Chains A and B, each alone.
Chain A
Amino acid sequence: MSKQTFINYKEYRWLVVTIVSLVVLLAIYALNTPVGGRNGGTFVGYTYGVLATIGIAWLMAYGGRKRAYSSSLGTVEGWLAAHIWIGTGLLLVVPLHAGFSFGYNVHTLAYALMVGTIVSGMWGVMRYATLSDKISSHRGGQSEAVVLDQIASLGSDIESAAREKSDAFLSLVERFDFIFKPRVEFLLRRIELPPVNQREAGEFLSRLPEVERDEALRVIGFIDQKIDLAQGLITESRIKFMLRSWLFLHVPISVALCVAVGIHIFSVFFFW
């Protein structure tokens, strides 16, 4: 049994709706041969333009529906499924509206911005589909707070082990132990915490008094565990950021698209 997700929602209901609509729109487009050639100014062209504008307005309304928490108008999951598939369909509706005429003008700019919005959206869908299962898989079923607690408790174990030890012991702890703090850097690039360097650790160990060696090995074990846990959290924060960062493109471009569509409509009616 395959699970329902925002992509295959209700057995691809919105993909089917989109494909059927596109087929109908294509057929009408193909059957209709207006005088002066196909363009946005013909009856079909105007109609498709109106459809595309309504489509864009509705796609923008998703942001509102997502935050209308008391709304009983469908579910956000259903809305997202429709948002994705109908949005993708617009890639074809708009060229049909324009009769596939492009140029270096504000009209084609609007189309380019729409393509930008849709592509950034697809990028988001890809990230949702491929990354969501990787957020928490490193935590072994525990919550993030529990992992942070584990790191803190390893830290205090190391601290108490180092109490009343030789200077050499302290310098070993100082060399390998670290304080885990979230940093912006974690979000932006892949960071791999190096494991404790065995050779270097060996050198530190050889400088220790005999009685402290077992304890030092235990501390190195703690540090290794800390690195593992911290690495998991670092990766997690980067994945979480990746699941959000595409919106920093998607939303601004969509706003720019609305402005461009506004200019497009205004200019066609007043200057064409």
Chain B
Amino acid sequence: MSEHFEVAIVGAGPAGIGAATNAAYHKISHVLFEKGEIANTIYDYQLRKHVMAEPSRLPLRARCRFVEGSREKILQEFVEDLRTHSVTFKKAEVSKIERSGDLFHIHYQGQSCTAKHVVLATGVQGSPRKLGVPGEPSDHVAYTLSDPEAFSNRHIIVVGAGDAAIENALALSENNSVTLVNRGGEFARAKEANSRLVLNAIQGGKIRCLYNATVGRVEKDVTYVNTPEGEVSVPCEHLIARLGCVLPRGFLESIGIQFSSAEPTAVPVVNHRYESNVPGMYILGALIGYPLIKQAINQGYEVIEHIRGEAVEPADQPLLEERFAGVPGGFKENLPKISSGLPLFKDLSSPQLREMIIDSSIHVKNSGDVVFEKNEHTDSFWSIVSGSVEIEVGSSRRVTLAVGDFFGEMGLISGRRRTATVRAATEGTLLLETPRRQILKLMASVVSVKRSLDEVFMLRALQTSIFPEVDRSFLEALVKRASMKTFKKGDVLFKEGDVGDLLYVIRKGSVKISRSNRAGVDVAQTYISAGNYVGEMALISAEDRPRSATVTAAVACETITIAKSDFLGLIDQFPAARERILRVAQERKIENVVTDWNERAGSILDFMTREGLTDAENVLLIDSDLCVGCDNCEAACAATHRGHSRLDRSGGKSFASIQVPVSCRHCENPLCMLDCPPDALKRMPDGEVVIRDSCIGCGNCVGNCPYGVIHIVHDKTKKGSSLLHWLGLGEYEEGPAKAAKCDMCHDLRGGPACVRACPTGAAMRVNATQLVKIANTKGI
């Protein structure tokens, strides 16, 4: 007769320990299986690693202890707590779970037992994801790192952008030269504290980070990495890939557990009690998409309460209810509207959904209330929970969006201003505003979110700026056939003389158009920004003319490509679109003829592109033909900014008498805003990026700015007699360190002091859209 338990818990990680200690506390007969060590994942952490207790706002609800601290302390407390609660523990690997009648038969190491309930809390660390590149099965490629001190004076590559990768890279960087290979441009998936630490280390030169990069192939002592600038070879004696883990899907499916979809990142479906489609089978923690320790412990506690038949609300319940304070219906009535009414979030696990809502704000709007204005610089993402909104496209057209739709998605990618004003169209419209970072995190972890957003991006990009005349249904069909292409800075989309077969709609970034002159030298003609298209001329020419110009990515670009036949079909069917496209093509031809005269203007445009001015929202330029070097601009800047000039007039490069001083350009894609712990960097409604007083002086923005325009300064305040100050002998009191940069004098009447203080008219502030004009003026 095999043993019988009320609850069998598989996996002694945080979730399992949380469940086992609570079961023991309530004297429920139970067993806890673990094939490896107690809390094996934490056990595998680096020695003395500091384990964080995120999310910090979430309270811990458990019979065991867990506070932020060293790996050793936490493991010791877990073992002690299992002992004090007299948890029944079996060190054994569960090989099979079968269900017959109301009972589960659990097979382990040649034995078996029965249980009424099974709690699966195995985690996912068992099967790491591989790189899948040539040369990979190799002695110097590893997927874990337990003792970073075993390495010194080596060249090491760490692949990944999650917490594990960051922690490994930081620990190794003490004694080694470490390169971090990050597939994306940010550390969106990492815990906030980790992302801050790693950005500091990168800025301080302790770690080299290759962004938007992937490993190409691994060789002995050198690894080839694909970056936006092309392939680079990185010396590498040891490579650690921390790409997360693959779910043990086969094992789970053998028990009969259903998954949310066939996507590789899909998670098992559980209800709010963590019960799967198999009655009596509960799944917790990383298996259902929740990798954090505190959340897992809480889930373990809660699942035992559910099994006991006690109604228990999840630990994050108060946080969620607080979000819905004052909203009609409160959290209870609105949760189903979000979980099943918003198709975009249908594949989110319950914990993912709850976390997303906690991060978001809820707005109730009345008919006519403005949600956001056109040209505003905000980047949050909006979903319609109830009611409807109206988007003002152009001066007369209105597009209505209803329940389940979302908007504001352009803020996620391009960092440009809002393209339209949105107003609520129904009384009591309920909107969910989610921060950009949270949506990026979901795009990275839930495939269906990324796919739906991508399709909608394409559709809206085509609908709003390219083919407003064309029916939505036609465009939807077009999007299914269109594809996304990405280009690194300097990549060629197509060359002059090529056969034209595709239309490129620029979704992100900007491109440079160039043509060769009589001597065969490539001369820049103009540049085209996101939201426009290129390549239409060769497609509409009657006699299949080749490409008339070369198009190169000025910065990293994403494009939607449409095949020639699709494009021609479209303009045949929609005469209004045809007419407009022909008119734009005609205008572009005229522009080509004009700039054909002017190679010098082309080289000026090239210089501006190289200096990153095409990304500038508002940049200070100096006409060095007029500048007399009096530095009144710097004096004005210092005088209006507490004694520190935010511009360096004499620094920076110049070309054809256009000088680009070292000063903030208020980029369309401001990298400085990437990782600001107190969220002090903000884009104001007029486009200027400013640093607010909440700045803590951490220096992340200083390191992230590619143009070196942010400095850490101590504000000076006058001390002592004003007579001494008048004589220039006064003393100053220094304030705390803060980041300082140009704020475009946004609180000064009359605008930027630098320009208004220039006696000769040499200083000017311009927007990227004016560059072509300036290049033409200067080029003559």
Contact = CB atoms under 8 A, between A and B. Distances in A.
B777 A80 contact: no
B260 to A, nearest CB: 57
A173 interface: no
Given A70-B639, A132-B625, A240-B629, A76 B757 contact: yes
A35 interface: no
A69 interface: yes
Say whether chain B's binding surface is mostly helix, strand, loop, or mixed. Answer: loop
Nearest to A132: B628
A200 interface: no
Contacts of A139: 654
B28 interface: no
B694 interface: no
B538 to A, nearest CB: 33
Contacts of A80: 759-760
Nearest to A139: B654
Contacts of A103: none
Nearest to B627: A132
Contacts of B748: 70, 72
Most buried by A among B625, B635, B761, B780: B761
B716 to A, nearest CB: 16
Given A76-B632, A142-B653, A69 B626 contact: no
A135 interface: yes
Contact of B759 (A6, A135, A145): A6
A27 interface: no
Contacts of B758: 75-77
Interface residues of B, number: 35
Contact of A141 (B630, B639, B653, B761): B653
Contact of A66 (B629, B632, B652, B749): B632
Contacts of B627: 132, 135
Nearest to B760: A6
A6 B750 CA distance: 19
Interface string B613-653: 00000000001111111101001100110000000001111
Contacts of B317: none
Contact of B629 (A5, A70, A79, A243): A243
Interface string B744-765: 0000111001011111111000
Given A3-B626, A72-B748, A9 B651 contact: no
Contacts of A135: 624, 627-629
A1 to B, nearest CB: 5
B750 A72 contact: yes
Most buried by A among B626, B652, B653, B659: B626
A77 B761 contact: yes
Contacts of B636: 69
B650 A133 contact: no
Contacts of B464: none
A20 to B, nearest CB: 23
A180 B657 CA distance: 27
Nearest to A247: B630
Contacts of B749: 72
A149 interface: no
B151 interface: no
Contacts of B630: 243-244
B623 A145 contact: no
Nearest to B780: A1
Nearest to A136: B624
A192 interface: no
A3 B623 contact: yes
A141 B655 contact: yes
Contacts of A6: 759-761
A142 B635 CA distance: 23
Contacts of B635: 67, 69
Given A66-B632, A70-B639, A133-B657, A5 B624 contact: no
Contacts of B762: 132
A77 B629 contact: no
A206 interface: no
Nearest to B637: A69
Given A128-B760, A141-B654, A75 B755 contact: yes
A143 interface: yes
Contacts of A77: 758-761
Closest 6 CB pairs of A and B: A72-B750, A69-B636, A69-B639, A133-B625, A72-B749, A77-B761
27 contacts: A3-B623, A3-B626, A4-B761, A5-B761, A66-B632, A66-B759, A67-B635, A67-B639, A71-B756, A72-B749, A75-B755, A76-B756, A76-B758, A76-B759, A77-B758, A79-B759, A80-B760, A128-B760, A131-B628, A132-B627, A132-B762, A135-B628, A135-B629, A141-B655, A143-B651, A143-B653, A243-B628
Given A75-B755, A75-B757, 8 more contacts: A6-B761, A69-B635, A71-B756, A75-B758, A132-B627, A132-B762, A136-B624, A136-B654
Interface of A: 1, 3-6, 9, 66-67, 69-72, 75-77, 79-80, 128, 131-133, 135-136, 139, 141-145, 240, 243-244
Interface of B: 623-630, 632, 635-636, 639-640, 650-655, 657, 659, 748-750, 753, 755-762, 777, 780
